[in-house]
Amino acid sequence: MSGGHEAPEGNVSTTQPWAAATAGGRPAGPSPHDGDLMYTWATELFPLHRSLTGPGLRATLDYLGERLPAMRRHRVASGTRAFDWIVPDEWQFRRAYVEDEAGERLIDSAWHNLHVVGYAEPIDTWMTIAELDAHLHSIPEQPNWVPYVTSYYQRRWGFCITHAQRERLRRDPQRRVRVVIDATLEAGFLDYADLVVPGESGDEVLFSTYVCHPSMANNELSGPVVQAALARWVHSLANRRLTYRFVFAPETIGSLVYLSEHLVHLKANVRAGFVLTCIGDERAFSVLASRRGNTLADRAARHVLEHRVGQYQAYSFLERGSDERQYCAPGIDLPVCSLMRSKHSVYPEYHTSADDLSLISPASLGGSLDVCRDIVAVLESNVRYRTTTLGEPQLGRRGLYPSVSSGEIDVRTTRYRDILAYADGSLDLIGLAESIDAYALDLVPAIGTLRQQGLLVAEP
Amino acid sequence: MSGGHEAPEGNVSTTQPWAAATAGGRPAGPSPHDGDLMYTWATELFPLHRSLTGPGLRATLDYLGERLPAMRRHRVASGTRAFDWIVPDEWQFRRAYVEDEAGERLIDSAWHNLHVVGYAEPIDTWMTIAELDAHLHSIPEQPNWVPYVTSYYQRRWGFCITHAQRERLRRDPQRRVRVVIDATLEAGFLDYADLVVPGESGDEVLFSTYVCHPSMANNELSGPVVQAALARWVHSLANRRLTYRFVFAPETIGSLVYLSEHLVHLKANVRAGFVLTCIGDERAFSVLASRRGNTLADRAARHVLEHRVGQYQAYSFLERGSDERQYCAPGIDLPVCSLMRSKHSVYPEYHTSADDLSLISPASLGGSLDVCRDIVAVLESNVRYRTTTLGEPQLGRRGLYPSVSSGEIDVRTTRYRDILAYADGSLDLIGLAESIDAYALDLVPAIGTLRQQGLLVAEP
Amino acid sequence: MSGGHEAPEGNVSTTQPWAAATAGGRPAGPSPHDGDLMYTWATELFPLHRSLTGPGLRATLDYLGERLPAMRRHRVASGTRAFDWIVPDEWQFRRAYVEDEAGERLIDSAWHNLHVVGYAEPIDTWMTIAELDAHLHSIPEQPNWVPYVTSYYQRRWGFCITHAQRERLRRDPQRRVRVVIDATLEAGFLDYADLVVPGESGDEVLFSTYVCHPSMANNELSGPVVQAALARWVHSLANRRLTYRFVFAPETIGSLVYLSEHLVHLKANVRAGFVLTCIGDERAFSVLASRRGNTLADRAARHVLEHRVGQYQAYSFLERGSDERQYCAPGIDLPVCSLMRSKHSVYPEYHTSADDLSLISPASLGGSLDVCRDIVAVLESNVRYRTTTLGEPQLGRRGLYPSVSSGEIDVRTTRYRDILAYADGSLDLIGLAESIDAYALDLVPAIGTLRQQGLLVAEP
């Protein structure tokens, strides 16, 4: 072993716009401010009564739109077809309560948005507690939590309460109560929004989250607030290589509507996509694979989580449950995986009133944003690189290699040599990084130097 | 996670002929009657003196033919070439014995068919026990078992006895005995049979077993009786999708003759094939892989054994030893594996008189038949499925999904959704089942429902 | 299982030239004489002061050329471009020393060639020990070893001494000494050599080692002496199928010059190549993979090491460090791996005076030569084989199978049958051997017999 050369990496002023924009490849470190801001947004959005349609959904999009001026609002009318589905009537909910003959309120949606079954049909009538009980939902195993229940596509009404309260009501089954759901279910609109941040290339990265869940924090205000903060950050970057698309829509029907309107474009342009959901609690990071399991989205998410976070939970597409169901459906087949902390259906507070603002935190929202920004940074630099010389270049002549052969070769030199040894034009940045056991973002400065030296080029 | 729908699977009346014929995909459960019947057949066939050729082989085919009216008989003359081989003379065996000067019978083929070496040339002469000993075969390690020995392609004579008896004979080496083998080895015929049960498609499933072994139960009456029962069952099915071919022939030379006569047809049409051998004992199930190791036959056999039986022994093609040697030979390359319980050469009684009717049982023959029927059922439904909608279909509208979002989603609903999520037209039934960790036959009813609803089609 | 045949393998006189030349495929066993001879060569070459260029390098090539009459000498002038590199000036070194005012020699290159920094520029001046110290190299952790240091591409001067001696010198920092390096660094030549041993085919096997290291035994006299002995042995073989190319050149710049002159030819013809380095010590065998990791060279080296040696160390290309850096560089991409005992940079004596003749031995050099010869033997027979019959051939008729069916089938018979069962024309010898869990060279005699019998042919 031998072959001497010369001197270490100097100040790097790379010609790669992205690397310049992000201080040498890696986005700036976690900003406590970002976490606080996202948590504030979540706090302000929490009380709104979101559903698939209706004023709470619109107010949520209004709120986000104020923070994302480039956001575009869209709506489709009830009855619109979206592939196999039909957009339902709009639910305009005002108030729901149960009171007894003495006027005592036994249940009131003013106390918690979850008390009314989502999309409940209107009612105003008297009945016994025994009759009411058939319309109550509770969780015997968690007697102090209110469950989240909806009935979007079949008309029914109902209330959700703690099991403890239900037990109390059941003590007097013949007690008469007035049951009121003040709402309308009539032809209207389904609202959603998107934000497209253009880059040099038409190749797109998709982020998608949903905005239809009322008064739950992890599922689902964490997705909207992280995605909004991410969109603002992406928008602020100079010289983006890629185009970014952020979709905020009601779950299932919203993503189906969006897909039905944009399918040809999305199939032609989306290179990687991520559903952001349940991404605000402080527990594990998780990635749920696309159906194919090894798309660019899967590879980027796993690479960032492995190198930036270390431990994470990898779920198969068999355990899917959010809008990746639509994005990865046969015939749609977009390269989309889901990025989460605790996966939906897995954490105990899921779909209950216990999924409140105490379950998420500024720090965990900030950490999730950091992961998303790293994914963006990796994708920005994720082109195939090829050396320009045959054989190793003489790094010493360029000051990239120690001129004396003794002693240890430092990490930067090893990195230059490893990049040059593997960059045969067949590997993208992630593949190159995994070949040399490194984090992709840690390679970006060295790649910048080597490109500047004319030793490496990006394949078109 | 969200997106509600409506109500459970009703009465299924599928349009898929096979599923209808088999009560929703899965063949009827094990019939004790089938096991008893197969055991009776084995008992009645046991005494016949089978060999590569001759009257015992013909009687065996006659017996099976009475039970399989559509069976076709074939024969080729001695001297016929089959690839590299030449069909040997026919062996007409009548009786073989050794008796002393007092007329006492020391060995007599009437006692056990294995006492004479298979294909022994005729002899009638006097000699000493010492001279006879060079023509005796026994097993020192199993002194009470008679070995099974043949010499098909070199003329010799000999007797097989227990080692205990041989030790007794050796006590008086000079005792003179008359050695008689009353047989002829002359130009004649090699007999074999097949049965083709046509289906809608010319795609064929091959089952093959051999009928040349005398008076041994597991090896090899289990193969013929299971295959005969299977052929009857297949014949009884309405609306077969596939064509089935059952071959009953002497081992090696018989399969070579069969292949030499049908090679072009078989290579063009056989999609999966199975050698049935040693399939009657009560020990493990085994599959011996084809040379390529991952043909449809291998996949179907492993899938059924894994899901229906649970534990089984997987052998490499390196451990081959029956007619898969020919079916998988280079240039022939049919997709054929061997299905067994205890593999030939592995169980202690193999090729001895201890492989008698006590080694097999109605229950184990019945269990083997069940596995074969499941393999047939899987292959019948083993087409590629594709969804007809883009995105998930609205199952609730069709009564295939609960209309309320609370609580657990039941197994049937999950199955519908999993099938629809993976059926992209690239996976056959086995691949689809393995993608969603299910037994293929358990998916058939749900697939029937989804096809009936127009949500799924089979690829042509 | 059944199907009788006839009798064992007789005397094998194969028609395969190579197999004949090597006693049935396997080279003759280790010759103690070879080990002694190689060790003698190493001993005689040890004192020469080798470097990238200059008289020591030339004398080394002269010495090897006397033992390899067909060796060809080449040279290129200083300033010649080789891809990204420029051949440096020639270093003509005569003597270097440090002496004090009393004329006492404190350091003298006559004591050990490593005392002078390789490619040191000439100097003759007085200075203090304190001033000299900035030009000294030593190893604090190994205070009695002299390190090996070079500065090929930046002019500097220096001495290498034991750390113990350095500590002694430092006791009197103001002592004045005369520092002399009697050398020239002027336009001259870079010398190298190769040897091409033609075979029936233009397909080439490359062996490459380097001849630029002064007075170290494992790194790097072991490579040159093993390669020279291997070249002599290959040259002595009758009927080579393949062409062999042996390159002796200075590391890095030498292989780059060689590649730049022969790249088109080498890319078109080299099927497998091996860098021989650090191959004389008695510790592990090692193979360092090519970048692609599964070239014919990798497969052959691993197969031989696994079957002939048993345990060996497998290194990834990430741990590269010798001329495989150039041979496997992007755009060059030759199928080359490195064959070693203790890998460079891994063993403690590496690049120090402790890498002396006690570190290598006749036995270990002989064992390394044996491995190389086996690799050659494997590659000679490494063609794809195909059976000539459909179905199994009747081995008994050809005396290759026992005619009676009883008892065990012997190893040779199993080997014939396994070869015939797997030789479908798609597998080369190594692939065939690995399919049947055998050492490739152990198959060669049986393959010879089967070819002689007309049952097997080599694919063109």
B207/B311 same-domain check: yes
Question: Do C237 and C180 fall into the same domain?
Answer: no
Mean pLDDT of B238-265: 97
Of C147, C168, C186, at which residue does a domain stop?
Answer: C186
Residue in A with minimal Cα distance to B2: A251
- For the segment C248-261, the average pLDDT, to the nearest whole number, is 98
- Which two three-digit tokens encode residue B184? 């002829």
Query: In 3-state terms, what secondary structure has residue A311?
Result: coil
- Whether residue C335 lies inside any domain: the answer is yes
A330-362 tens-digit pLDDT: 999 999 999 999 999 999 999 999 999 999 999
Q: Please check whether residue C160 lies inside any domain of the structure.
A: yes
Over residues A298-322, the mean pLDDT reads 97
Q: What does DSSP assign to residue C398?
A: G
pLDDT recorded at residue B17: 36
Q: Which helix (H) or strand (E) holds C290?
A: none
Which of C85, C139, C160 to probe the A interface (max A CBs under 10 A)?
C85
The angle subtended at Cα C400 by Cα C397 and Cα C404, nearest 5°, is 75
Residue C406 is predicted with a pLDDT of 62
Q: Does a structural domain hold residue B8?
A: no
Task: Please report, rounded to a whole number, the percentage of residues in chain B having pLDDT higher than 90.
Answer: 88
Type and span of the H or E element at B200: none
DSSP B232-282: HHHHH-SS-SSEEEEEEE-TTHHHHHHHHHHHHHHHHHEEEEEEE-S--BS
More confident residue, B443 or B406: B443
Which strands sit side by side in the sheet containing B384-387, from one edge to the other?
B424-428, B384-387, B456-458
Q: Is the pLDDT of residue B18 over 90?
A: no
CATH number, domain containing residue B236: 3.40.630.10
Q: What are the tens digits of pLDDT across the range C431-459?
A: 999 999 999 999 999 999 999 999 999 99
pLDDT in tens, A174-221: 999 999 999 999 999 999 999 999 999 999 999 999 999 999 999 999
Q: How confident is the model at residue B9 (pLDDT cuts 50, 70, 90)?
A: very low
Residue A9 domain flag:
no
Q: pLDDT (tens digit, 9 = 90+) per residue, B364-398?
A: 999 999 999 999 999 999 999 999 999 999 998 89
Tell me, yes or no, if C405 comes closer than 8 A to chain B by beta carbon: yes
Mean pLDDT of A359-378: 97
Any bridge partners for residue A196, and if so which? A245
Note whether C329 contacts A: Cβ–Cβ < 8 A.
yes
**One domain for residues B371 and B409:** no
From B151, B322, B331, residue closest to C404, measured CB to CB: B151
Q: What is the reported pLDDT for A1?
A: 41
Is B3 a member of any domain? no
A173 CB within 8 Å of a chain C CB: no
- Give B5's contacts in chain A (Cβ within 8 Å): 153
Residues 281-320 of A with CB under 8 A from C: none
Same domain for B232 and B256, yes or no, is: yes
Pick from A3, A389, A394: which is nearest to C251 by CB? A3
Same domain, yes or no: B419 and B277: no
Whole-angstrom Cα distance, residue C91 to residue C118?
Answer: 9
Q: Using CA coordinates, name the residue in chain B closest to A322.
A: B1
Tokens of B263: 């090679």
A201 and A229 fall within a common domain: yes
In this complex, the residue of B118, B325, B345 whose CB is nearest that of residue C392 is B325
Using CB atoms, which residue from A1, A3, A420 is nearest to C345? Answer: A1
pLDDT of C62 reads 98
Q: How many CA atoms lie within 13 A of B98 on its CB side?
A: 24
User: Same structural domain for residues A110 and A62?
Assistant: no
What pLDDT shows up at residue B7? Answer: 30
Confidence of residue C20 (pLDDT cuts 50, 70, 90): very low
Identify the domain boundary among B134, B156, B186: B186
What pLDDT sits at residue C407?
Answer: 58
pLDDT, average across residues B27-39? 80
* DSSP notation for B435-451: HTT--HHHHHHHHHHHH
CA distance C66 to chain A (A): 26
Q: C-alpha angle with apex B288: B284 to B290, nearest 5 degrees?
A: 160
Provide the domain count of chain B.
3
Cβ contact, residue pair C1, B291, below 8 Å: no
Give yes or no for residue C18 having a pLDDT over 50. Answer: no
When pLDDT is cut at 50, 70 and 90, the band that residue A155 belongs to is very high
How far CA C322 is from CA of A199, B129, C118, C247, in Å, comes to 43, 75, 18, 14
Q: Does B137 touch chain C (CB under 8 A)?
A: yes
Nearest to B435 by CA among B420, B448, B453: B420
pLDDT at position A143: 97
Q: Model ipTM? A: 0.90
**Structural domain span for residue A225:** 19-87+192-380
Question: How does pLDDT run across A76-89, given as a tens digit for each residue?
Answer: 999 999 999 999 99
Does C402 lie at the interface with B, CB-CB under 8 angstroms? Answer: no
Looking at the structure, do residues A277 and A260 belong to the same domain, yes or no? yes
Q: How far apart are the CA of C393 and the nearest CA of chain B, in angstroms?
A: 5
A300 and A445 fall within a common domain: no
- Give the pLDDT of residue A269: 98
Instruction: Tell me whether residue B197 is in a domain.
Output: yes
**Distance separating alpha carbons of residues A287 and C258, to the nearest angstrom:** 50
Tokens of B46: 């046991």
Say yes or no: A278 and A397 in one domain: no
Record: contact A153-B397, CB cut-off 8 A = yes
Judge whether A239 lies within some domain.
yes
A7/chain B closest Cα distance in angstroms? 54
Q: Are C198 and C36 in contact (CB under 8 A)?
A: no
Does B115 contact C at CB distance below 8 Å? Answer: no
Q: Which residues of B touch A118 (CB under 8 A)?
A: 405
Lowest mean pLDDT among B172-181, B267-276, C28-37, C141-150: C28-37
- For chain B, positions 259-278, list CB contacts with chain C under 8 A: 259-260, 263, 277
Compute the distance between CA of residue A352 and CA of residue A145 in angstroms, rounded to an integer. Answer: 6
pLDDT tier at A399, thresholds 50, 70, 90: confident
Structural domain contains residue A227: yes
| Chain B contact present for A86, CB below 8 A | yes
Categorize the per-residue pLDDT at B27 as very low, low, confident or very high, splitting at 50, 70 and 90. low
Residue C2 has pLDDT above 50, yes or no: no
Residues B333 and B314 in one domain: yes
B427 vs B10 pLDDT, higher one: B427
Going by their DSSP bridges, the two strands A313-315 and B286-288 should be labelled as unpaired
Per-window interface: B 181-240 vs C, CB < 8 A: 210, 212-213, 219
The interface residues of chain B toward chain C in range 143-162, judged by CB-CB distance below 8 A, are 147-154, 156
Q: Last residue of a domain, which of A157, A186, A215?
A: A186
C-alpha distance from C388 to closest chain A C-alpha (Å): 41
Using CB atoms within 10 Å of the CB of residue C347, give its burial: 0 to 12 exposed, 13 to 18 middle, 19+ buried.
buried
Could you report the per-residue pLDDT of B314-358, keeping only the tens digit for each?
Answer: 999 999 999 999 999 999 999 999 999 999 999 999 999 999 999
Mean pLDDT of C42-71: 98
Distances (CA, A) of A118 to A137, A188, A254, C224: 12, 16, 16, 82
Contacts of A11 (CB under 8 A, 6+ apart): none
Residues of chain C contacting residue A436, judged by C-beta atoms under 8 Å apart: 318
Residues of A in contact with C325 (CB under 8 A): 3, 392, 417, 421
- Residue B25, pLDDT score: 54
Among A residues 421-460, those touching chain C with beta carbons less than 8 Å apart: 421-425, 435-437
3-state secondary structure of C196: strand
Closest residue in C to A404 (Cα) is C151
For range A136-148, the mean pLDDT? 97
pTM of the model: 0.92
pLDDT tens by residue, B399-417: 888 877 765 667 888 999 9
In which band, very low, low, confident or very high, does the pLDDT at A404 lie, cut at 50, 70 and 90?
A: confident
Scanning every residue of chain A, which has its alpha carbon at the shortest distance from the alpha carbon of B3?
A252
Percent of chain A clearing pLDDT 90 (strictly above): 88
Average pLDDT over residues C268-286: 97
Question: Are A354 and A397 part of one and the same domain?
Answer: no
Q: Residue B408: left (phi > 0), alpha (psi -120 to 50), or beta?
A: beta
Q: What digits encode the pLDDT tens for the residues A13-22?
A: 333 334 333 4
Looking at chain A, the number of H-run helices and the number of E-run strands are: 13, 19
Mean pLDDT of B35-60: 98
**A contact chains, 3+ CB pairs < 8 A:** B, C
